[in-house]
Amino acid sequence: MTDYRCINTEQACELIDQGAQIVDIRDEGSYAELHISNAYNLNNHNLPEYIGQADFDKPLIVCCYHGISSQSAAAYLAHQGFDEVYSLDGGFEAWRTQCPDRCER
């Protein structure tokens, strides 16, 4: 895949249940307050480390606040060589409303 696709929360849940990776690009404080279970807080400082240890063959879901910033991050990660990259429509705000049982602190 040379680009990314946008997916809704239901599709994201299915992918996560199948072993997809999740990165949360929100600021550290927002991430620490509440985030998708098992999400990795990705930022400019830990990006090289993440790319160095990530599984490029597993689907990757990118989450931001409202689903806007995640699109450019998803495009960037797709161009880094990840096979399947997705941007979460509605971002974490949609996720926490629709999937509150799949959030953690």
Task: Show which residues are catalytic.
Answer: 64
Q: Are strands 60-63 and 40-41 parallel, antiparallel or unpaired?
A: unpaired
Q: Is 36 helix (H, G, I), strand (E, B) or coil?
A: strand
